[in-house]
Amino acid sequence: MGVKKTMATFADRMQHIESSGIRRLFELGSQLSDPIDLSLGQPDFEPPVEVQEWAIAAIREGRNRYSPTAGIPELRAALANKLHGEGIATAESVMVTAGASGGLLLALMALADANTDVYVPDPYFVAYPQLIRLAGARMIPIDTYPDFHLTPERLARAVAKADPKRRRLLIFNSPNNPTGVAYEALEIRRLAETARELGFQVISDEVYDVFTYETPHVSWLRTDPTAVLVRAFSKTGGMPGWRIGYAAAPPLVLEQMLKLQQFTFVCVNTVAQWACLKLLETDLTDRICDYRARRDFLRDQLSPRFGLIPPSGTFFAFPSCPADPERFLRKCLEKQLLVVPGNVFSARNTNFRISFSAKPGPLGRGIGILNQIAEELQEE
Amino acid sequence: MGVKKTMATFADRMQHIESSGIRRLFELGSQLSDPIDLSLGQPDFEPPVEVQEWAIAAIREGRNRYSPTAGIPELRAALANKLHGEGIATAESVMVTAGASGGLLLALMALADANTDVYVPDPYFVAYPQLIRLAGARMIPIDTYPDFHLTPERLARAVAKADPKRRRLLIFNSPNNPTGVAYEALEIRRLAETARELGFQVISDEVYDVFTYETPHVSWLRTDPTAVLVRAFSKTGGMPGWRIGYAAAPPLVLEQMLKLQQFTFVCVNTVAQWACLKLLETDLTDRICDYRARRDFLRDQLSPRFGLIPPSGTFFAFPSCPADPERFLRKCLEKQLLVVPGNVFSARNTNFRISFSAKPGPLGRGIGILNQIAEELQEE
């Protein structure tokens, strides 16, 4: 029979949603024969053996059916306990999510719409602009160059020009991807006070909470219990492919997020839920020490020409390009080195992201190549 | 410090999105001491042992990191092969999704917006109205009582009153939840022809494809390669908690769905992906025979007072209430029997859903109670 040609018309929103710049790079990199990949967004370690064993036991013991929407009660109780220990008032109001991305999607769909301005410190995580567009809201980047810190002054200045009738959301991200900046307790307290005065609802993306190298992580929610907390197990535990994280929020907000989870994610992979119950008991100090050593190496070895703000968290650094970014990044590719262009994370195109989750060998070689390029460009 | 009260304002869409009626029942049921639960939406079997072993091997062999957005190439190739075998032209254009719900969400967000009417045969899967509202579109139910078949005539009649400027989507669902109707090849061909003439883009929800008892399943895409196919492994394989399914669509549509998957689901649980590669090779005939026997038992034992259309697929039946539905369902609850009220799936409130995925013991007792209630109500 006659069949019409593929003539699908897409939803309007699809015009504004773009493919990830990191993914384009990933595809470019897959054409290189043996690249040094410092573009990675995941740790290089595997889940702890005891966590693997809990996952395996869950499969064998028949924990393969739907869980409650919010997650298995055992994991929620353990999370409530952990969050209490961090001084978070809404600790009991916690749900399991499909990674931090799952939590962000639910929070934004519940809180943001066409009448909402979502403020985002720039540089920002690549998915924010897309998630904000999906929710139908408007993103307002707040420039934080050159030190990459959101300050009360910068926040107030951003709002000064804003339409007072529009709802205000802020996505706060500490430790920050891509800059590696981890905020300290006092900074957060001052920021939260200003955010409250300016009428912001805050979503705190703390996906890199365990990856801090100077002072222990402090949650935004310790100061502001009205905020939505979003975290992941995936990066912490070395199983980003398992798609598991968690979110905490005031009960009325969590209720909305749960309503959305019911018919979208339905529940989080139950095997991963049981395994993460074990992960919460696991000491990850060795892994963090290892990453701190790589951070130190990067900070010490990278030529001052790159003007690096030393990362205090995550496994990313965001140095500035020592020459015209296009030219610099082409040189990197020529030498089979993959880093991520700064404009993937920012309205500016002056910096680039390196991941120090790469093994020490490639990391050392990659930094060597970067220094060599910086020298060549200076000599030209 | 002073902290403002929880005063989150929610996105407008949240006013129109409701909690699942099945979930409310689930909570009601959890207060009963020892209910006979015929409200279940998942099979009673576990994943085949060899599938469990593949999942376990995947964990141990370090397959715990991100997969490509569309899924691991091995699983996509196996799926393409399977779909080719079913005569589906877009077989190569396939992605792994987080269950059928994941596929539906991506398809609707890519294809439906405020300018779209989404037609849905009524009775329908509970999540459709919510997913359609989330996409900002309008749902138009098409009444299919009393035989529960969408016909070309019913489709044409539904459209006759429609605004011709609005985009038209149809969610076709065979085998159908909650009615158990599985459409035959000729029916689908006639329907697809009419849908094409009327300018419909179709999403074919085939989540119960393996659960057919009269004739083998026929995909809508065999006739209409412009449609989006949505299926799940979860129900088929006995691991709904793993959250894995797949979608096929014309390349341009799949591209849009992949763009959305990148920053929402990111990828599907990688352990489940490896295990489902094994599931595709596994013979599930015994399980389906078992479910057919339960279907036969239900059909033969349920009193004619319930006016049952015998299900030809899924593990659901949708009999009509033998008296006032409120009164009938209250009687069921009094006798500790859980079934799902019909108005959860429909604009009408005349029927109820039973699942025959319950074990033969409870299924038999449940049907006994239903017949007893029907008798009591007739005597009154």
At A152, list the tokens.
């009360």
DSSP letters, B320-362, are BPSS-HHHHHHHHHHTTEE-EEGGGSSS--SBEEEETTS-HHH
Domain spanning B16-47+284-379, CATH class: alpha beta
Burial of A334 (0-12, 13-18, 19+ CB in 10 A): exposed
**What is the spatial distance between Cα A312 and Cα B42, in angstroms, rounded to a whole number?**
47
Burial of B330 from C-beta contacts in 10 A (0-12 / 13-18 / 19+): exposed
Beta-carbon count within 10 A of B323 CB = 16
Report the C-alpha dihedral over residues B216, B269, A277, B236, rounded to 10 degrees. 0
Angstrom distance (rounded) from CA B110 to CA B100: 15
CA distance A255 to chain B (A): 9
Beta carbons of B6 and A251 less than 8 Å apart: yes
- A8 and B252 in contact by Cβ < 8 A? yes
Residue of B nearest to A50 (CA): B60
Q: Residue with structure tokens 């968690």?
A: A246
Report how far residue B35's alpha carbon sits from residue B186's, in angstroms, rounded to the nearest whole number: 42
Cross-chain CB nearest to A64 (options B66, B111, B241):
B241
Looking at chain B, the whole-number percentage of residues with pLDDT higher than 70 is: 96
Q: Which residues of B touch A113 (CB under 8 A)?
A: 11-13
Cβ-defined contact of A238 to B270 (cutoff 8 Å): no
Residues of A in contact with B17 (CB under 8 A): 259-260
pLDDT tens digit string along B193-228? Answer: 999 999 999 999 999 999 999 999 999 999 999 999
Give the β-pairing of A167-173 and A116-122. Answer: parallel
Contact A218, A184 (CB under 8 A): yes
- CB-CB neighbors (< 8 A) of B243 in chain A: 98, 265-269
Nearest CA in chain B to A133: B260
Buried/exposed code over B249-269 (b: 16+ C-beta within 10 A; e: otherwise): bbeebbbbbbbbbbbbbbbbb
pLDDT of A18 strictly over 80: yes
Q: What are the structure tokens assigned to B301, written together? A: 């034992």
Residue type, A254: L
Is B250 near chain A, with CB under 8 Å?
A: yes
pLDDT band at A8 (very low <50, low <70, confident <90, very high): low
pLDDT digits (tens, 9 = 90+) for B15-52: 989 877 666 666 677 778 889 999 988 899 999 999 99
Nearest CA in chain A to B109: A11
Separation in Å, CA of B109 to nearest CA in chain A: 7
Q: Is B165 exposed, middle or buried (0-12, 13-18, 19+ CB in 10 A)?
A: exposed
CATH architecture of B49-279: 3-Layer(aba) Sandwich (3.40)
**Interface subset of A 265-284, CB within 8 angstroms of B:** 265-272
Q: What is the pLDDT of residues B275-315, one digit of tens each?
A: 999 999 999 999 999 999 999 999 999 999 999 999 999 99
Question: Residue B1 — pLDDT band, cuts 50, 70, 90?
Answer: very low
- Determine whether the interchain pair B134/A260 forms a contact, defined as Cβ–Cβ distance below 8 Å: yes
Model ipTM over 0.90: yes
Q: Which residue of B has its CA nearest to A19?
A: B259
- Boundaries of every domain in chain A: 16-47+284-379, 49-279
Please state the rounded mean pLDDT for residues B255-269. Answer: 97
pLDDT of residue B208: 97
* A4, A167, A260 ranked by CB distance to B9: nearest: A167
Four-CA torsion B111, B114, B115, B116, nearest 10 degrees = 50
Residue in A9, A264, A269 nearest the CB of B241: A269
Q: Which of residues 91-150 of B touch A (CB under 8 A)?
A: 98-99, 101-102, 105, 109-116, 126-127, 130-131, 134-136
Residues of A in contact with B67 (CB under 8 A): 241
pLDDT at B8: 58
Return the pLDDT at A21: 67
